[in-house]
């Protein structure tokens, strides 16, 4: 006879009972496990995507402290200039840029001029300083793939983001015509005969390595090119001015959509905020950028709460599914429980076996839930990236990843209590028929 003590044996008995039951009810068990997995994956994904999105959109990888643009919404400025979404609220004179560029309190000032696109990707006119002085995600500089280089400010040259290159197929040395407007005209599906295409032809002189920031989704050209693009007019001094070939554009005629600013000291933002936002009437300083985006998340916090509520409900439904699935087997298993009791199983073993069975279904669901989590997060990350250029870190740790499985298992075990009580109270003698 075995020398092992009885307690591990009872655990083995419970494990065997659970295993056999799951095997006998394989289809129902599999469906319930799948439902639990989807619930588990969904709740983890909701928490993780919400957290990672907030981190990505409000984190410090933007590389600028503020956006200065026409009077209007700070959020619109940030969405337009940082994430290259939304419309530009208007233009500001070049002189503002020139003045701030010379201001010792400003470490970096980069002008943006928008208004065109190439196959739906924003074309932003700017200066080569962007490629030389701009740093993102701390101190990372923009790098060119292969033999790429910054554009010459006076030539029709372009630098494209990594995502643009991947999506459009544009490569170093390729030529393209910008189209008018900041988004793709869906009615114009003929690439070779774009009715909105400008006559100017640009050559790609650089493809940026992927940064996992909105920069990846932009086509960069010299700002002079935007000023001189056919059909564009400038109103830097209030009057309409159309640039003519061979003539330099007077600075007072120039205007830009916005200016990206990096300050020399943290206090500068507050100073400029006071001058521009509180006491000025013509421009808006979106500062600090992270706070503006945080405001957006707070404004739409109810969406997150609704999503979480839905996720909680899905988890509750999956717990109910476990309860129903296990409960439905109890009647047909009454004889099994009676036999178990008759050969010496204590009530606690029968009870434990049912609770363990429910918990096992939940545990297997929680494990499989990571697959669903991965799929949901990857799909969401792909959508977010294609829409904004922002890459969320699908595999970064979030406490929900650690908490969800034990919570699911606990809920599963809880769901097993009702059927366990039913099994526990099986009348042994009555279910061991026949009597003689």
Q: What residues make contact with another protein under the rule CB under 8 A? A: 1-6, 8-10, 12-13, 16-17, 20-21, 23-24, 335-336, 338-349, 428-429, 432-436
Q: Which is nearer to another protein, 65 or 336 (CB)?
A: 336
Question: Cβ of residue 30: shortest distance to another protein, in angstroms?
Answer: 16
Question: Cβ of residue 353: shortest distance to another protein, in angstroms?
Answer: 11
- How far CA 10 is from CA of 199, 229, 330, in Å, comes to 83, 82, 21
Q: Is the dihedral of CA 132, 133, 139, 140 positive or negative?
A: negative
Q: How far apart are the C-alpha atoms of 414 and 412, rounded to whole Å?
A: 5
Question: Cβ of residue 324: shortest distance to another protein, in angstroms?
Answer: 21
- How far CA 283 is from CA of 35, 105, 112, 131, 166, in Å, comes to 53, 18, 15, 26, 36
Question: Cβ of residue 343: shortest distance to another protein, in angstroms?
Answer: 5
Question: Cβ of residue 8: shortest distance to another protein, in angstroms?
Answer: 8
Question: Cβ of residue 321: shortest distance to another protein, in angstroms?
Answer: 22
Question: Cβ of residue 427: shortest distance to another protein, in angstroms?
Answer: 10
Q: Which is nearer to another protein, 13 or 367 (CB)?
A: 13
Question: Cβ of residue 346: shortest distance to another protein, in angstroms?
Answer: 4
Q: How far apart are the C-alpha atoms of 290 and 111, rounded to whole Å?
A: 20
Looking up tokens 């065997």 gives: 16
Buried b / exposed e across 276-304, counting CB within 10 Å, b at 16+?
bbeeeeebbbbbbbeebbeebeeeeeeeb
| DSSP letters for 260-323 | EEEESSHHHHHHHIIIIIIS-SSEEEE-SHHHHHHHHHHHTHHHHHHHHHHHHHHHHHHHHHHH
Q: Which is nearer to another protein, 35 or 356 (CB)?
A: 356
Nearest to 74 by CA among 223, 378, 374, 287: 287
Nearest to 131 by CA among 118, 122, 140: 140
Nearest to 62 by CA among 78, 85, 86: 78
Q: Which is nearer to another protein, 74 or 333 (CB)?
A: 333
Angle at 389 between CA 387 and CA 392, to 5 degrees: 100
Looking up tokens 């330099």 gives: 248
């Amino acid at each position: 006879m075995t020398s092992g003590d009885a307690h591990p044996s009872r655990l083995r008995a419970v494990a065997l009972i659970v295993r056999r039951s799951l095997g006998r009810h394989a289809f129902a068990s599999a469906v319930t496990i799948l439902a639990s997995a989807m619930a588990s994956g969904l709740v983890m994904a909701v928490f993780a995507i919400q957290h990672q999105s907030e981190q990505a959109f409000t984190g410090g990888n933007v590389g600028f402290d503020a956006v200065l643009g026409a009077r209007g919404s700070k959020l619109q400025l940030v969405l337009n200039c940082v994430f290259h979404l939304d419309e530009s609220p208007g233009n500001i004179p070049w002189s503002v840029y020139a003045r701030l560029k010379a201001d010792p309190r400003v470490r970096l000032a980069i002008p943006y001029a928008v208004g065109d696109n190439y196959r739906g990707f924003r074309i932003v006119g700017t200066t080569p300083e962007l490629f030389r002085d701009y740093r993102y995600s701390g101190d990372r500089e923009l790098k060119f793939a292969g033999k790429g280089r910054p554009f010459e400010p006076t030539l029709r040259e372009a630098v494209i983001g990594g995502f643009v290159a991947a999506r459009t197929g544009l490569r170093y040395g390729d030529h393209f015509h910008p189209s008018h407007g900041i988004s793709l005209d869906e009615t114009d599906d003929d690439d070779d005969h774009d009715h909105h295409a400008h006559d100017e032809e640009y050559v790609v002189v650089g493809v940026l390595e992927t940064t996992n920031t909105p920069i990846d989704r932009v086509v960069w050209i010299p700002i002079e090119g935007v000023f001189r693009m056919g059909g564009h007019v400038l109103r830097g001094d209030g009057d309409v001015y159309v640039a003519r070939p061979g003539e330099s554009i007077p600075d007072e005629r120039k205007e830009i959509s916005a200016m990206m600013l990096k300050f020399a000291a943290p206090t500068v933002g507050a100073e400029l905020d006071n001058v521009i936002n509180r006491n000025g009437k013509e421009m808006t300083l979106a500062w600090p950028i992270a706070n503006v985006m945080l405001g957006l998340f707070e404004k739409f916090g109810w969406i997150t709460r609704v999503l979480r509520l839905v996720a909680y409900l899905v988890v509750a439904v999956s717990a109910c599914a476990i309860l129903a699935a296990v409960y439905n087997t109890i009647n047909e298993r009454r004889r099994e429980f009676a036999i178990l009791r008759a050969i010496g199983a204590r009530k606690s073993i029968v009870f434990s076996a049912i609770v363990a069975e429910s918990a096992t279904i939940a545990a297997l669901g929680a494990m499989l839930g990571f697959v669903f989590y991965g799929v949901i997060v990857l799909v969401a990350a792909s959508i977010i990236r294609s829409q904004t250029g922002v890459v969320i870190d699908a595999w970064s740790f979030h406490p929900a990843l650690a908490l969800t499985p034990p919570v699911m298992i606990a809920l599963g075990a809880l769901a097993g209590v009702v059927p366990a009580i039913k099994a526990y109270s099986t009348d042994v003698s009555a279910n061991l028929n026949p009597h003689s």
